[in-house]
A and B are shown apart, each in its own frame.
Chain A
Amino acid sequence: MRVNFVLSEVATGLRRNLTMTVAMILTTAISLGLMGTGLLIAGMISDMKEIYYDKVQVSIFLADDVTDEQRSAIEQQLAGSPEVANHIYESKDEAYARFQQQFSQQPELVQNTPADALPESFRVELVNPERYEVIAAEFPNGQNGVDQVRDEGDFLDRLFSLLNGARNATIAVAVVQALAALLLISNTIQLAAFNRRNETNIMRLVGASRWYTQLPFILEAALAGLIGALLAIGGLVVTKVLFVDKTLAGPIRAGIIPPVDWGAIAFISPVIAAAGVGLAGVAAYVTLRLYVRI
């Protein structure tokens, strides 16, 4: 295979259809960028699940006037319960310290909150997180020093269904964009093949192999896919630096939201690049098989 010949054909083709090429690259970039965002959100969700679900499933908040006997009775009951895998006691001071850390970006809120405003609590990890009702029944609200039993899992479920929805919406838009990108690629390749029909007809007649005839078109699409992928990766890097790292700095430092680290971007970049190159190449190949006689 004459590399120079193929490369010069690719360059000529991309230049000749400049507007179509730009459109093709941009749609590909947007699609892949959204796909990357979806993957990052998915990674973030699983990180968050590890942070939250493992730590706590049920919180038992104690009343302000709880007595020492009531507290130790609750603790014994938890220690003896077969439903409970683990439990941690958090005092008012500890709760306040965690609150201070979580809201360190909002000093007014911290200043305006008295140190004893936050209740002491037991953080309970269940053997089976679904069995919240059983624990709630064992510790009726407002009795024996218990103020309230809250299923953190329920809150987390709602949070995660929101995040999952965001991820799904992102990926759905990515898929629609990918469809548009594929159609554009197909169109561009048809146009390129039409522009070069004299060359390809002659190639066919003098016995150039099918592969030799098609490769410039496939490479043309694959190159556009690669450029689109690079733009998408650049977009993700810019989003991380300018949006995630700046705007979400507080919650990330407080441990509420896991950070988007470079490792995650480095991990999905090859996936995006492969998807861009692969999809564009396959779209071009299928187009040539279906629409173009070579």
Chain B
Amino acid sequence: MIELQHVTKLYPASSRPALDDVSTEIDKGEFVFLIGSSGSGKSTFLRLLLKEDDPTKGNVIVNGKTLNTMSKWQVPKLRRTIGCVFQDFRLLRNRTVAQNVAFALEVINKPQRTIKRVVPEVLEMVGLEGKAQRLPSELSGGEQQRVAIARAFVNRPLVLLADEPTGNLDPETSEGIMLLLERINRTGTTVVMATHDYHIVDSMRRRVIELNGGALTRDQSRGVYGVGR
């Protein structure tokens, strides 16, 4: 599903690599925590999977496609198979909940018929069925993140990438978000979540990949956040 082969990423402005010879493999349907302190390379890891950046060395393979050799015009097609969730939600403030979710389908040319059908479905799934006509500013942080997850999942991606999705949320709200991500994972979607939240990592006991200064220092199934935090 996802494979990194000796991936090194150097940013021009920095002498230290953001990722240093990282190799790993993530299978279809896995739930993986990507942990490490700020600047350890978690975000770079996720960016490479989206082909927002290219590795300096090594290969990144997502859904059977080697991203290094992928031409620019194929990138949108790749991204349609990957959902993304961020710490800061990234919703459109002047659009309602339903419009925010529908936007993701409209801009990839889904027929209006399909949009009308699947948007209420996915809003129900994330527990926002009564709030379709609200604006993001009228929602709590947890609810906004649910909208973002609905938008990421509405096109049924093979992979869901989450970059600190609970970073702005209190523990109870975070728990609700994690239940939702677990539910999405149970539908067969691979979930890769970068996080600092050791409570979540420790309680879920899923696979943990730890990055330290760009190097992969731990890869453990059913892992915990670790002692070095």
Contact = CB atoms under 8 A, between A and B. Distances in A.
Interface residues of B, number: 23
Given A199-B92, A206-B151, A206-B155, A212 B79 contact: no
Interface residues of A, number: 17
Given A204-B79, A206-B155, A209-B76, A2 B109 contact: yes
B108 A207 contact: yes
A242 B76 CA distance: 55
- Give the interface SS of chain A, mostly helix, strand, loop or mixed: helix
Interface string A195-231: 0001101111111111011000000000000000000
B92 A206 contact: no
Nearest to A12: B94
Contacts of B76: 207-210
Contacts of A199: 92, 103
A5 B106 contact: yes
A201 B89 CA distance: 12
A231 B82 CA distance: 47
Contacts of A212: 107-109
Nearest to A205: B84
A13 to B, nearest CB: 14
B104 A202 contact: yes
Interface in B150-203: 151, 155
A290 interface: no
B154 to A, nearest CB: 9
Interface string B62-99: 00000000001101111111101000001011000000
B119 interface: no
B50 interface: yes
Contacts of B90: 198, 201-202
A137 interface: no
A121 to B, nearest CB: 74
A209 B79 CA distance: 10
Contacts of B103: 199, 202
B92 A2 contact: no
A207 B92 contact: no
Contacts of A210: 72-73, 76
Contacts of B80: 206-207
A206 B81 CA distance: 9
A134 interface: no
Interface in A28-63: none
A32 B204 CA distance: 66
A108 to B, nearest CB: 72
Contacts of A201: 90
Nearest to A1: B109
A94 B79 CA distance: 85
A209 B109 CA distance: 10
A293 to B, nearest CB: 9
29 contacts: A1-B109, A2-B109, A5-B107, A198-B93, A199-B103, A201-B90, A202-B90, A202-B92, A202-B151, A203-B107, A205-B50, A205-B79, A206-B104, A206-B107, A206-B108, A206-B151, A206-B155, A207-B75, A207-B76, A207-B77, A207-B78, A207-B80, A207-B82, A208-B76, A208-B107, A208-B108, A209-B76, A209-B108, A212-B108
Given A204-B79, A208-B107, 9 more contacts: A5-B107, A202-B103, A203-B107, A206-B80, A206-B104, A206-B151, A207-B82, A208-B76, A212-B107
Interface of B: 50, 72-73, 75-82, 84, 90, 92-93, 103-104, 106-109, 151, 155
